[in-house]
């Protein structure tokens, strides 16, 4: 096997190790120093990992905004800058190893402070690694990227069960050394591949940009992270989904390593047995459900039958089932297992939605919006954790009371159902349409306002980007356009889409669409192309 042919295998193993580390962080009590220390720090541990996620994603956002930092360079170039490609994965591998050493008590004594710091550092390193994997997917078709994610998740869930049955020393060796190194090598291999067609990706043609520029400076400006922001309904739906799922899982914690397991009791001969090796019954059920979902999703996606609504519904249904049955305290903590699996499936839904939304966009279009969304989701999870900590510290509220659990669980399920039945159908439609990233593919979010809307403008759109302001003023006066409509017309004449106009003028999407509709009505046209043609044909004054 040649080195070149080994790269895809290395990337797949690295992604699988990343998911295995994530599942171990969520499900395995073996990554804590001891039951006593873990139980004593349950409340701060509720917050530490999510706070680390927020810090990690904030760092990624800062790097993306800098346009040229370690996170942006590998994607925005042809991959020839080896130091920039290798350094971030290597640094993340070292950080992950150090975080697990702290969390497990192997670096210092089995004390609370190192464990909490290690938990936060592990969250930050996993967040940064996740963002790097997004960069690695930037040149892949959505279907190929999703297949790679599902395969890695399937392998990680099976490996989690197998390794949890081994001695704790082997498990910790894999978590501290093997998995971080494999993750780093996989990221380096994936990011080090030449970005297919990266130099040919189109740019936004601003008024001062000339198509004849071919030097490196112009190319760097071309790839500055331009904005193809996520629609508000998509962003809010994702953030609320993450917030509610995290809130419910934090409100009703069931220990993953302290409850007697009716499943393991016959195997161990001990009625009070809580685990088989390092594997607990809740962790086993969650891992098996994730493996079952991944296997089914892999088969469906390979046949082109995996649909976004199906993944979303399965994830929400699993979370709802977990919390409807939770107050009954079934033996072994099965409800929390189902809910944890549902949260992972919701994550797959989010990955699937974002991959398909940005499927026709270059990396510059989603570099900053995705990092911003990740920060908001991590912030929502942190807020949920703070809320849970406040409730736990309130002596007047007993969250272990059956009635309180039923009320909180029922309220959370109602929110999930409202999300599923409310904005989600609109989200599916937004994802189906995808993002508008280029003037040359400029059927933007105002498409279908009129009956005759065309799919793309003609080349004359780009040729007339530098229309004189006087010509635009004369056209606006002749058609009785308001000052705001005149302003929006100027942006349309330069090929700007609705998301760009929203940000530029600080207006809501509905307001921009209303103004464009009024422009169409006053100019008696039904499409962007017709408006551009009318503007071009207007006599000069």
Would you give the DSSP letter of residue 539?
Answer: P
pTM > 0.75: no
Share in percent of the chain as helix, strand, coil (round to 5): 70, 0, 30
The DSSP secondary-structure symbol of 106 reads S
| pLDDT single digits (tens) 272-288 | 777 788 888 888 889 99
Residue 424: what pLDDT? Answer: 86
pLDDT, position 526: 82
One DSSP character per residue, 299-334 reads: HHHHTT---HHHHHHHHHHHHHHHHHHGGG--GGGH
Over residues 24-30, the mean pLDDT reads: 84
Q: Greater confidence, 414 or 79? A: 414
Taking the C-alpha atoms of residue 501 and residue 229, their distance in angstroms, rounded to an integer, is 11
Lowest average pLDDT, out of 7-11, 70-74, 175-179, 212-216, goes to 212-216
pLDDT of residue 253: 58
**CA–CA dist 220, 207 (Å, integer):** 17
CATH class of segment(s) 3-195+223-433: mainly alpha
pLDDT digits (tens, 9 = 90+) for 228-281: 788 888 999 999 989 988 887 877 654 444 567 777 878 777 777 777 888 888
The CATH architecture one would assign to domain 439-537 is: Orthogonal Bundle (1.10)
Q: Is the pLDDT of residue 204 over 60?
A: no
Report pLDDT digits (tens) over 125-169.
999 999 988 888 777 788 888 899 999 999 999 999 999 889 888
Question: What is the structure's pLDDT at 97?
Answer: 94
Which stretch, 195-209, 296-310, 419-433, 451-465, has highest mean pLDDT? 296-310
Task: Give domain limits for the chain.
Answer: 3-195+223-433, 439-537
**What would the pLDDT profile of 170-191 be if each residue is shown by its tens digit?**
888 999 999 999 999 988 888 7
Assess whether the region 3-195+223-433 and the region 439-537 belong to the same CATH fold: no
């Amino acid at each position: 096997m040649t080195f070149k042919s080994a790269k895809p295998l290395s990337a797949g193993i690295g992604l699988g190790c990343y998911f295995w580390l994530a599942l171990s962080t969520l499900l395995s009590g073996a990554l804590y120093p001891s039951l006593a220390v873990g139980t004593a720090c349950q409340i701060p541990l509720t917050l530490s990992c999510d706070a680390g996620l927020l810090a990690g994603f904030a760092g990624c956002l800062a790097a993306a905004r800098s346009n040229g930092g370690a996170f942006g360079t590998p994607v925005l170039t042809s991959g020839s800058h080896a130091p920039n490609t290798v350094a971030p994965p290597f640094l993340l591998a070292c950080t992950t190893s150090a975080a697990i050493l702290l969390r497990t008590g192997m670096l210092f004594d089995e004390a609370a402070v190192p464990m909490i710091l290690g938990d936060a550092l592990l969250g930050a390193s996993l967040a940064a690694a996740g963002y790097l994997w997004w960069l690695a997917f930037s040149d892949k078709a959505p279907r190929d990227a999703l297949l790679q994610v599902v395969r890695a998740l399937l392998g990680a869930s099976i490996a989690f069960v197998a390794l949890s049955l081994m001695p704790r020393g082997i498990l910790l060796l894999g978590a501290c050394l093997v998995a971080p190194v494999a993750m780093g090598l996989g990221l380096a291999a994936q990011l080090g591949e030449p970005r297919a067609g990266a130099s040919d990706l189109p740019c936004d043609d601003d008024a001062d940009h000339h198509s004849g520029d071919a030097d490196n400076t112009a190319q760097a400006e071309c790839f500055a992270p331009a904005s193809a922001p996520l629609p508000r309904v998509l962003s809010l739906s994702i953030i609320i989904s993450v917030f509610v799922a995290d809130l419910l899982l934090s409100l009703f914690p069931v220990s993953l390593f302290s409850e007697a397991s009716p499943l393991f009791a016959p195997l161990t001969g001990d009625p009070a047995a809580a685990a088989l090796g390092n594997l607990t019954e809740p962790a086993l059920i969650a891992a098996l459900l994730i493996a079952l979902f991944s296997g089914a999703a892999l088969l469906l996606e390979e046949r082109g039958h995996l649909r976004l609504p199906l993944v979303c519904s399965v994830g929400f249904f699993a979370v709802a089932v977990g919390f409807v049955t939770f107050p009954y305290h079934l033996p072994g903590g099965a409800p929390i297992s189902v809910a944890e699996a549902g949260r992972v499936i919701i994550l797959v839904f989010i990955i699937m939605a974002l991959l398909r939304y940005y499927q026709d966009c270059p990396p510059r279009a989603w570099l900053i919006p995705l990092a911003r969304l990740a920060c908001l989701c991590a912030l929502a999870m942190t807020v949920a954790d703070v809320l849970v900590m406040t409730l736990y510290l309130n002596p007047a509220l007993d969250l272990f009371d059956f009635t309180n659990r039923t009320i909180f669980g029922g309220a959370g399920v109602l929110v999930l159902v409202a999300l599923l039945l409310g904005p989600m159908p609109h989200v599916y439609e937004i994802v189906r349409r995808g993002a508008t990233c280029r003037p040359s593919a400029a059927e933007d979010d105002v498409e279908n306002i009129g009956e005759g809307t065309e799919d793309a403008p003609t080349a004359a759109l780009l040729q007339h980007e530098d229309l004189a302001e006087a010509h635009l003023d004369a056209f606006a006066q002749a058609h009785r356009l308001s000052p705001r409509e005149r302003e929006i017309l100027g942006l349309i004449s330069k090929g700007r889409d609705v998301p760009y106009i929203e940000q530029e003028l600080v207006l809501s999407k509905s307001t921009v669409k209303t103004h464009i509709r009024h422009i169409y009505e006053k100019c008696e046209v039904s499409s962007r192309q017709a408006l551009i043609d009318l503007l071009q044909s207007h006599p000069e004054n």
